[in-house]
Amino acid sequence: MKGYFKKDFIRRLVDDADIVGIINQYVPLQRSGTRYKARCPFHTEKTPSFVVTPEMGRYHCFGCNANGDVLDFLMEMNKLDFSGAVELLADMEGVNVQYEENGNYTRRSENTISYNEKQELYNCIKDSANYYYKNLMKSGVPLKYLLDRGLKKETIKKFGLGYSINEFDNLYNYLVKEKKYSVNTLIKAGLVRTNDKGGVYDYFRDRIMFPIQDVNGKLIAFGGRIFKDVKNAPKYLNSPETLVFKKNSTLYNLNNARKELSEKPLILVEGYMDVISLVNNGINNAVATLGTAFNINHAKLINRYTKNVVIMYDSDNAGLNATIKAGEILESANIYPKVVRLPKGDDPDSYILNNSIEKFNNLVENGVDSIEFRIKLLEDNHNLLDNWEKVDFIKKACVIIGKVDDDVRKEFYIKYLHERTKAEISTIEKEVNTNSFITPNHLEDGKKDDKEQNIRKNQIKQKIISAQEMILKYMIDNALDIDKIKEVNLDEDILVGDDYKKIYEKIVSCINLGKKVDFIELFDYNDTLATTMSRIVSLDQNIDSDDLNQAKKTLMVNNINKKITKVKLAIRDIQESEDKEMLDVLIAEFYKLKSELLKAKNGGTLI
């Protein structure tokens, strides 16, 4: 058994690694002076707060506080233990791992996957893809099927399309007997299945094969499509989920499409052939889900790369319903997509085959905002010349608008609905406001991802603590400068935590007595307060008036947000009663607080 890694080897490996180049393989970095910035890969955010400092060989996210060196990044990004991260980095850098002669190999956590395990699966899947591709190139009917659909040979090669021979042990024999993989590896990779008698058989047989890559281009799974009539056979068959493949968080072709997203929108389509046909015609910015409905994990994945999304699903009823659902999910992730409605009977594959690229691009450019799209669909099902149908349409449209979590957009849709129906804006606003408190973003926090919620809570907590300590440090440093102390003008109620409130009271007491703040004397060796005060006094930062105002603003915003949360919960509770008068009072209070929040932020996003 291999021993411990040599200490000097780890140090040299990390020092020599190109941290910018390695992280850039996972998340696109943009130069900012001597540093590089990106949207953090460890939490969802709008503004890039993930910073890589190459001269220090470290990264730091100022949003979720993730930080470390290149090994820390690889461990977190790939869910590896330390040993796995070292082996992966060594592989990326093209160097051999060096071990001590004695000692035991570092044990890994039960919740992580070793690099060697994953690498074995990657290699097995890659060898399978090469085998399938060679089979396709030698085949007759399967290759003709793809060529007859208009695919170029270079497109077939680019996607590594293949063919699984119609035999129960064809791939099995190749991988086990020729490539010397274990049967267990084939099972773990999802390439074979076992029967009731313990026999093993190929999972994919007589199908066109679509290799699936992760966002970094590693082969992780397959999709298989029948190309002739077969009774009781599913049209598509996908690999089962494995140690390296999670269909709920993988998008087909994202590894290629993301390179186009600085200038083009991401086009979301339904199937492999839609993506491949578009790429075949020079449109490289399309992705598709993998045998599963679009979900919030897909939205979060997209959010790492762009907010410019176009949904282009099939034009049938199932496609329309899927479009509505995908739009709602993207909106919940603060992505407001456009929707392209294809002519009846078309999907992206058939449309691009029968129309020019210019016509396709024109469709994309003229896509309709997803909220407007849903309202128009609703309108198509109502006769607005009939008063009662118009009322029903307005009420249902207001439910859609009420779910919008952006006040500017909400105002736009209210005006749009007014123009379509001639209903009074005040009436529409009231109906919309009644429906503004039942959205997932507002009140169904329990449905959000727990990890995401914990990161968000920790992010807010750290900002509040930092803001409070900056204010108190400013007061201590300027205790005898009356003009500067007047700048603080702080309402004690907006402070969070008893320790900070007690410290604030004692500092104010000293200032009022014209004394210098001596925290040892003040706190009589109270361990908790003395520790907190010691941390504040030792802050290595010169707090100026701008810092003070920013910190005060952070606390004010936090305080107003807490009030808004209480009012929203009260509105949710009272909606179940018949007390419309109290509901109006609470809604008025909600929008009063929203106005205060806007003033407090003063155009800046603080929390």
- Same domain? 357 vs 397: no
| 478 vs 208, residue with greater confidence | 208
Is the predicted pLDDT of residue 526 greater than 60, yes or no? no
**Residue 310 lies in domain:** 246-366
Q: Is residue 2 part of a domain?
A: no
pLDDT at 442: 35
Q: Is residue 1 part of a domain?
A: no
- Same domain? 299 vs 310: yes
Q: Is residue 118 part of a domain?
A: yes
| 284 vs 601, residue with greater confidence | 284
Window from 420-434, 461-475, 491-505 with minimum mean pLDDT: 491-505
How far apart CA 556 and CA 566 sit, in angstroms, is 16
For residue 244 the two structure tokens come to: 């390296």
Residue 89 near residue 70 (C-beta atoms within 8 A): yes
Tell me the chain's radius of gyration from C-alpha atoms: 30
Is the predicted pLDDT of residue 4 greater than 50, yes or no? yes
| Helices and strands of the chain, counted as H and E runs | 27, 16
Sheet holding 50-53, edge to edge: 30-32, 35-38, 50-53, 58-61, 67-68
Give the number of domains in the chain.
5
Residue 362 near residue 352 (C-beta atoms within 8 A): no
- Same domain? 416 vs 450: no
Q: In this structure, what CATH number is given to the domain that contains residue 122?
A: 3.90.980.10
Of the residues 79, 112, 145, the one at which a domain ends: 112
Window from 156-165, 429-438, 514-523, 572-581 with minimum mean pLDDT: 514-523
Give me the mean pLDDT over the 82-107 stretch. Answer: 69
- Same domain? 468 vs 562: yes
- Same domain? 64 vs 182: no
- Same domain? 254 vs 206: no
Q: Is residue 15 part of a domain?
A: yes
Q: In this structure, what CATH number is given to the domain that contains residue 491?
A: 1.10.860
- Same domain? 170 vs 305: no
pLDDT digits (tens, 9 = 90+) for 267-308: 999 999 999 999 999 999 999 999 889 999 899 889 878 899
- Same domain? 453 vs 430: no
* Model confidence, pTM: 0.63
Of the residues 436, 466, 491, the one at which a domain ends: 436
Of the residues 316, 350, 366, the one at which a domain ends: 366
Q: Is residue 465 part of a domain?
A: yes
| 574 vs 477, residue with greater confidence | 477
Confidence label for 3 from pLDDT (cuts 50, 70 and 90): very low
Q: Rounded to a whole number, what is the largest CA-CA distance in the chain?
A: 95
- Same domain? 445 vs 577: yes
Q: In this structure, what CATH number is given to the domain that contains residue 78?
A: 3.90.580.10
pLDDT at 521: 56
- Same domain? 318 vs 217: no
Residue 398 near residue 376 (C-beta atoms within 8 A): no
Q: Is residue 161 part of a domain?
A: yes
Judged on CB neighbours under 10 Å (0-12, 13-18, 19+), 295 is middle
For residue 316 the two structure tokens come to: 């049938």
Q: Is residue 291 part of a domain?
A: yes
- Same domain? 132 vs 237: yes
Q: Is residue 598 part of a domain?
A: yes
Confidence label for 598 from pLDDT (cuts 50, 70 and 90): confident
Q: In this structure, what CATH number is given to the domain that contains residue 304?
A: 3.40.1360.10
- Same domain? 362 vs 388: no
Is the predicted pLDDT of residue 107 greater than 80, yes or no? no
